[in-house]
Structure 1
């Protein structure tokens, strides 16, 4: 990930909006590969060949253990925590599945979007698997959008920012975070809770995608509610996102999550956020259609990123054939559909 200087000094560093425009042009794609691994629903061939994934996790754990010994001295062997073997084996299978998915569908995509909860539920081995997934995606030329929908009071928001894109100072040196190129954020705690996240991202030339009008049916319960001003809540959030965004190029560095399942809102969203990059979840399994998303691309091809998860990973269940080939075909089909919208 390109690192900014954080204070405006020194040579100019492209902001996230500029990086996104360049990546979309280089990859000829606006498709984001959602990575939401379900340990009970992995590609069989990947589960049957987890040796490389297991070795990756073991090497990372061994390196960490060795480093801890160098810092604090040997402390003796401690018994394994209950469930650690099950977590490690599950994380290895998940990692093998995700690596195979990236290899299959990644060439048709511009980014991956790992759902953090799908890895966090496996404990420490799950987070290690996530780090290896992100590294593999970057090695394949893909941006990494960490989907955690973080949002908390300012001091905690700053910690979330360090965890996802920055470094954490410590007595033992700087601790690197996930080094994502962007992440999702929940705005419902207000501007002061968003600002530390935006600051952390901006210092690393990363981006923040703020939830504005999400793809789930229950979003209407709150986000469509009318405020005293007469505007809907998502319209107020859109105005906030527009105000937070910076960048002198085609796109701002603060984006919006705008669900593809409610395309009738896209024209108004684009009116309120003319230079904001949109992240468009809900294609495929949730019922969204690429052809309805044209307003998202008004600022240019990078103005909208179309994200698909289950419809790519589970494409073999619909069209048959080996999972990697079906995923590759589905990702390419979506890429062409989105690209044809201009």
Structure 2
């Protein structure tokens, strides 16, 4: 079983949509395990260095926990979704731990998705994009960022806050997932609100994502028959609102859909068939607590997580076809 193809020297020769589809086919999985480690609820066995500061000890334990989770579930997964805030709250040692976990995931052949939900004015967005997906030129040479394969982005500030991510992603053979209709209980507070023309805000956001995705694909080359089936700009669509999926796929025919909310939040894989209609990589199910916390009291957490991941992979395959 192989992993996600590395970005080509010429990203247009191996763009994100093609890389993603190839990884899903090669690993026979559309499952991403989510890692949002809580230092007070880690798998047992972490042994921080003696005399370490609280931040260093916590970061070491979090990185060790994440490594063991990935070792257990990687054969059943195509990637990992790393919740940036769970690492950043541990200060500089936590950021360093995030980088180590991302590198370990890449060594296991997994896609690395940075769940950061960035959203800021264009200048700041360009910096965030370089930190996640690219590099920063300096007088002393380029400084590489995290090297994630994709990043999540909040669209509230509009197209000019998303475009820098699309530009950096296209230049580096990477991807972007824009929040469209999320899985949290408060999603309806704004996303379901009707606009003046009767459409909901999430429908307008989906149209914006589709437009940016088409422009990003066009920037990589002519939109001819060789265009990848999937665009580099995808959408985050909660599995807790499956009744919207057919409309979302209509609005986003070429966008990869990231589907959080299965398991602990109440979403069901069986309700997600429309997400996979565009072929391999079109739907990616991300599950955190139901995998990492699958063990019953006294059970080996790695073995329980492995079984849970394998079960979810099989369930997704049955729906995706």
- TM (norm. structure 1) is 0.86
Q: CA offsets per residue over residues 137-168 of structure 1, 9 Å max, x none?
A: 00000010000001100000000011001111
Equivalent residue for 1:168? Answer: 136
Equivalent residue for 1:101? Answer: 69
Deviation of 1:14 after TM superposition, in Å, equals 1.2
Equivalent residue for 1:189? Answer: 157
Pick closer, same or farther for the CA change 1:195–1:280 going to 2, 3 Å: same
RMSD: 1.6
The count of residues paired between Structure 1 and Structure 2 equals 304
In the alignment, is the contact (CA less than 8 A) between 2:258 and 2:286 conserved in 1? yes
Alpha-carbon separation, structure 1, partners of 2:42 and 2:282: 32
Q: CA offsets per residue over residues 28-72 of structure 1, 9 Å max, x none?
A: 000001010000100012x2x446xx9xxxxxxxxxxxxxxxxxx
In the alignment, is the contact (CA less than 8 A) between 1:146 and 1:180 conserved in 2? yes
Alpha-carbon separation, structure 1, partners of 2:92 and 2:24: 33
Equivalent residue for 1:60? Answer: none
Equivalent residue for 2:244? Answer: 265
In the alignment, is the contact (CA less than 8 A) between 1:34 and 1:307 conserved in 2? yes
Alpha-carbon separation, structure 1, partners of 2:9 and 2:158: 25
Equivalent residue for 1:324? Answer: 302
SS in 1 for 2:53: helix
Equivalent residue for 1:76? Answer: none
In the alignment, is the contact (CA less than 8 A) between 1:283 and 1:290 conserved in 2? yes
Question: Runs of 5+ in structure 2 lacking a partner?
Answer: 1-5, 218-226
Equivalent residue for 2:28? Answer: 28
Alpha-carbon separation, structure 2, partners of 1:228 and 1:124: 46
Alpha-carbon separation, structure 2, partners of 1:100 and 1:176: 26
SS in 2 for 1:257: strand
SS in 2 for 1:32: strand
Deviation of 1:250 after TM superposition, in Å, equals 1.2
Matches of residues 141-156 of structure 1 in structure 2 within 5 Å? 141-156=109-124
Question: Runs of 5+ in structure 1 lacking a partner?
Answer: 7-11, 55-83
Equivalent residue for 1:256? Answer: 235
Alpha-carbon separation, structure 2, partners of 1:21 and 1:43: 32
Say yes or no: does 1:128 pair with 2:106. Answer: no
Equivalent residue for 1:15? Answer: 15
Alpha-carbon separation, structure 2, partners of 1:13 and 1:168: 23
In the alignment, is the contact (CA less than 8 A) between 2:269 and 2:315 conserved in 1? yes
Deviation of 1:5 after TM superposition, in Å, equals 4.3
Deviation of 1:3 after TM superposition, in Å, equals 4.7
1:113 pairs, out of 78, 81, 96, with 81
Alpha-carbon separation, structure 1, partners of 2:128 and 2:178: 14
Deviation of 1:317 after TM superposition, in Å, equals 3.6
1:306 pairs, out of 262, 270, 285, with 285
Equivalent residue for 1:42? Answer: 42
Equivalent residue for 1:87? Answer: 55
